[in-house]
A and B are shown apart, each in its own frame.
Chain A
Amino acid sequence: MNTRRLESAIVTGFTIIVALIWVFPLYWALVTSLRSENRVVSRPGLLPDEFNIGNYADALFNTQLLTWYVNSVGTAVIVTVVVILISMMCAYALSQINFPGRRLLYLVVLASFMIPSQALVVTQFILMDQFRLINTWGGIILPQLIVPVTIIVYKQFFDSVPREMREAAVLDGGGDYAILFKLFLPLNWGITTALAIVTFIGVWNAFFWPFLVITSEDMMTIPVGITQVNDAFGLAYARLMSVALLAALPVVLAYLIFQRRVTEAVMISSGVKG
């Protein structure tokens, strides 16, 4: 019995060591960001030895980080809200109303799952140019509004709402919109927040499309903008790490605060947990 316990303790210890090695890059970024530029290039030790928040102030006020924050927050919030609304409405119709073309639409949703948007960037760009939306929030937002998996997840959840609840609401004279927003949405609030958080993280992190559709520096989102700091200032690693950590902060916080929701959303959307 005791050897079993020892074995178990060793495996646990090993797991923790691997996990700590796994987050070392983040630790190192943090330690670097708190050092002066001179200290950073003097081959310092692995332990934190300076707590210099000047780099952060520098990052916030001497780069366009704040502008990029505004662009990222604005576009990510809009995309998240619209994606949730569009998906919820479409899923409600698919799940609760027997309208002509319903099966076809469901097939389209499933098929859109398989469309790699990265392959479409050229023609999406041409389209955005025709709409005069290059270098605008609209240009960033519009092609990101289709997230088929949220429709599928919502449909799955709406399908499992008891029939009687809906029938009672219909008898009370509620229209479909009222039923969706006053009955189905509150019933599925948990999955809605979960989907919203992962959508937000995904949009915040989007790189390829915003990188193509935005060329002017003051319209850039965070992930695109921070690559410019590098170009503009040469190699100043302490400042660069401060910028990188500030860029990641909102999504890291969103994840840490809503950790269980994120886990739930990832598992449910990939279909490994219903």
Chain B
Amino acid sequence: MAMIENRRKRNLTAMTLVAPFVIVFAVFFFYPTIRMVQLSFTNAPLIGAGEWVGLDNYIRLASDRLFKTSVWNNAYFILLTVAPTTMIALAIALMINRLKGGMQAFVMVLFFLPYVLPVSVVTQIWAWMLDFQYGVLQPVLAALTGKPVAVFKDPDWVMPVIAAITIWWTTGFNVLLFIAGLRNVPAELYEASALDGASQFQQFTRVTWPLIWPVTALVLTLQLILQLKIFDQIYLLSGGGPFNSSYVLLMQVYREAFQLNHGGYSSAIATVLFVLIAVVSVLQFQLLRIGRSRQ
């Protein structure tokens, strides 16, 4: 009897312990998710009720040229950032990993520092460095192209430049992950391969690379998810322009909802983005599980 009493009491305690998470999750995540899908089948404005319109919003999406542009730009941005930041981070991690003690910590701080900055600080610093008239980088651009470039007003330059700024901002995070991965490679493996006469390049391709592949996969998928959600830097630096050449999905969600007052249509775009990210996240989760079970 006392056992049952005790068990009940513990279950009750457990409920109070998990209640805050469950409530916050239900109200601010689960409910908004359901509402988003619901709204995507209506013509509701941002605030207020709408009518059920079935699949109209999705049908409209299929022929929305701005939506196509956004999807394409999102893909372009991913192409410009995901693989490059992964390779740059790996290269930096390899360079840092061979340093020792205080020097290693110091260099690590220099590479990680940009990552802790708020996005608007990052964009303001770079907007200043790339200022058309007075930017410290304009002489460099002039040397490369023959004349100064208004990078955020040029359809060809805007995406690569924002991608480069994003890489500068976030690479430190990926460097940390690679360093953790490199530390897990047993030193004996290097010694053994050195005795076998392997060159440094062979050591990298035969020893390091296979062992840090799980970290590489993690970095690639984390970046992919992150860059699917790109908004802040683009909004702050180019506002999606010029001529929509840096317009992306989340920006369309924002404009449709908050500037054009199309809650329903905006929700349809958000739902597409949601599904896209969820699919990639599930893939990532599976990938990591495979990676871990191998270790």
Contacts and interface: CB of A to CB of B under 8 A. Distances in A.
Contacts of A32: 128
Contact of B95 (A18, A177, A205): A18
- SS class, residues of chain B in contact with chain A: helix
Interface residues of A, number: 97
B120 A241 contact: no
Contact of A240 (B124, B173, B250): B124
Given A175-B13, A226-B120, A255-B113, A25 B126 contact: yes
Contacts of A171: none
Interface in A223-262: 223-224, 226-227, 230, 235, 237, 240-241, 243-245, 247-248, 251-252, 254-256, 259, 262
Interface in A81-120: 85-87, 89-90, 92-94, 97, 99-100, 102, 105, 108-110, 112-120
A120 B222 CA distance: 19
B116 A251 contact: yes
B20 A114 contact: no
A51 interface: no
A272 B181 contact: yes
A97 B13 contact: yes
A113 B133 CA distance: 44
Contacts of B39: 122-123
Contacts of A118: 229, 231, 250, 273
A25 B13 contact: no
B236 interface: yes
A57 interface: no
Contacts of B222: 270
Given A120-B36, A256-B109, A15 B96 contact: yes
A144 to B, nearest CB: 9
Interface in B75-131: 92, 95-96, 98-99, 103, 105, 107-114, 116-121, 124-126, 128-129, 131
Contacts of A271: 218, 288, 292
A23 interface: yes
B223 to A, nearest CB: 12
A233 B13 CA distance: 56
Given A119-B36, A127-B32, A204 B118 contact: yes
Nearest to B272: A119
B13 A177 contact: yes
B162 interface: no
B257 interface: yes
Interface in A10-38: 11-12, 14-16, 18-20, 22-23, 25-26, 28-29, 32
A114 B277 CA distance: 8
A267 B180 contact: yes
B117 A248 contact: yes
A226 B121 contact: yes
A28 B125 contact: yes
B11 A100 contact: yes
Q: 7 closest A-B pairs (Cβ-Cβ)?
A: A114-B281, A99-B14, A223-B118, A123-B32, A119-B274, A93-B17, A90-B21
Interface of B: 10-11, 13-15, 17-18, 20-22, 24-25, 27-29, 31-33, 35-36, 39, 46-47, 92, 95-96, 98-99, 103, 105, 107-114, 116-121, 124-126, 128-129, 131, 133-134, 136, 168, 173, 176-177, 180-181, 183-184, 215, 218, 222, 225, 228-229, 231-232, 236, 250, 253-254, 257-258, 263, 266-267, 270-271, 273-274, 277-278, 281-282, 285, 288, 292
Given A90-B18, A267-B180, 13 more contacts: A29-B125, A97-B13, A99-B10, A110-B285, A115-B278, A119-B36, A122-B257, A123-B33, A126-B35, A207-B120, A223-B121, A248-B117, A271-B288
Interface of A: 8, 11-12, 14-16, 18-20, 22-23, 25-26, 28-29, 32, 40-41, 43, 46, 85-87, 89-90, 92-94, 97, 99-100, 102, 105, 108-110, 112-127, 129, 142-143, 145-146, 151, 175-177, 180, 201, 204-205, 207-208, 212, 222-224, 226-227, 230, 235, 237, 240-241, 243-245, 247-248, 251-252, 254-256, 259, 262-263, 266-267, 270-273
